[in-house]
Each structure stands twice: as C-alpha cells, then as structure tokens.
Structure 1
C-alpha cells in the first residue's frame, strides 16, 4: 500500500453496503437499501419489496406499483395500497426474527433514501441512536 492509500470512513463503508443492498430490491418505482450497524459491525440488512411468499412487484405482486408504472396513480398517492415493506422496516424485522437486539446498544441505521415517518418511529422506538 502506498502513502496515499485511503480507506473509506465507517459511514462511507456502511452507506456503500446500503447501496449494495438496494440492488436486491424488486420494487418497480424505487430501490432502497438499509443497513443496521452496532459497534462498526453490520447486524442487519434490508431492502424494499414485497413480503416473502408474495409475487414480486414486476410479477404483479403489488397492484399499486403496477398502477403507478402504468401512470394511473401519481407518485406518493395511494400508499396505503402498497404491499411492499420498506428497507428500514425489513432490516428492523430481520433483527426481530433473528433475535438480535438492534437498538439498546446504540445501533445506527444507514439508508439510501430518507426514511418515512413510520420507519423513523420504528427506529426511534427500538432505540436506534442515529
């Protein structure tokens, strides 16, 4: 390694992990990735998409996404009809499913898009610090 070698900061590194996670998204309108980190270790990853066992968006699993892509619904409208889980919610649920305590020890949530109010409330409720 040369003198000018620079590693990414921890924040840059984990944002890159979130960017990578979003590549797994099957949402037709927006791909979002999220990573939960504690003590500079990734403890959960999430991306937005339909729940397990439900057809992917591009297979017609989420009627709202289909209507949105057909131009029949405006951006931001009829969100209550969307079946997709948000990336942040998926990462938080992964912690719950795996029995990982995400928030009590100062975990950080990295996400590639501004979290919605519901995901923000979930993160605050479980004690994610930032």
Structure 2
C-alpha cells in the first residue's frame, strides 16, 4: 500500500473539519500548514461566543447580507488564519488546504498574510453559480500558487464534504 502524500492527508483533514460546521448552506474546512506541519485549522461558522446558525435558524440558515452571504459566519480560511495569527504563528510561506476555493475577500487576506500556496477541492464559482473564481484569479494574478486538489496515486478521500447540509 503506497504512503499517502501530505496533500492527501491535509485535504482529508479539511474534509473532516468541514463536517464540524453548523452552517446549513455550506460546510467548509481549512488546514494551514508549513513544511508538512499543521499551523492551524478552521471551519466556517459564527465567531466563538455567539450562536450556531443551525440552532438559531434551523430552517433557512442565518440571515444573509446584501450579497447573499451569511451575515454572521467567518469563512474556514478566516478562522484558520485568525487562530494562527492570534497565537503568533509564522504564516508567511505556508500552504492552505481548503474544501472550497477562496472567495475574493478571503483571497485578499490570504495574499496579505503571504500564504504561498492554496490547494482547493471544489470551486467557489461552481458552488455559487457564477462565471469566474474571482478569489483564485486574484491570487494567481499576484503570484500565489493555486492548485485544484488531485488525489495521489492509489488514494481517494474517505468522504467528500457536503456543500449543503442534509436536514
């Protein structure tokens, strides 16, 4: 049996982290690594100390902002990056594994934090039904390596994260 590549290990962890999300609309996980070591993890949801969307709004999910996004939640990438920064981790030069490609707002944060590489499982543009992956385009334009995840030889993810919670 071949040994799994670190990309496979970290994406599998991101998939499992997505399952911790309380979001009714989408469940997204993220793993921030540097030199094959985990710096931080995150999944989408409201800030700590507030309420979970599936508890407070079990039928429709949390209120939407003017662009149709959750008005309460932090994205998985934001949670992972904020936790790492809060704990003084050196993020520059790191790699971010995420189950949904970054939106434009997260892409700006990723670039600003000098994250070197992003590996994503699913396309944000396809999920949202929009023409282009603005976050991916932004990152590539400014020199961040962005790759769609491709499993290594003989490896497949144990499970794929649900983008919509089955209620």
**TM-score bucket (shorter structure):** 0.7 to 0.9
Gaps of 5+ in 1: none
User: What is the CA–CA distance in structure 1 between the aligned matches of 2:107 and 2:79, rounded to whole Å?
Assistant: 13
> Which residue of the partner structure matches residue 116 of structure 1?
103
Unaligned stretches of 5+ residues in structure 2? 118-167
Q: TM-score, normalized by length of structure 1?
A: 0.81
Normalised by the size of structure 2, how large is the TM-score?
Answer: 0.64
Deviations 1:75-114 (A, max 9, x none): x9432x51000000000000111111112xx200000001
Query: Which ranges of 4 or more aligned residues in structure 1 deviate by more than 4 Å?
Result: none
Q: For 1:111 and 1:27, how far apart are their aligned partners in 2?
A: 16
Say which one has the larger Rg: 1
Q: 1:11 aligns with which of 7, 13, 19?
A: 7
2:78 equivalent to 1:78:
no
CA distance in 2, matches of 1:53, 1:67: 18
Residue pair 1:54, 1:61 contacting (<8 A) in 2 also: no
Q: Displacement of 1:65 after TM fit? A: 2.5
Determine which structure has the larger helix proportion and give its number: 1
Instruction: Give the aligned partner of residue 126 of structure 2.
Output: none
| Distance of 1:102 and 1:21 partners within structure 2 | 20
Q: CA RMSD in A?
A: 2.3
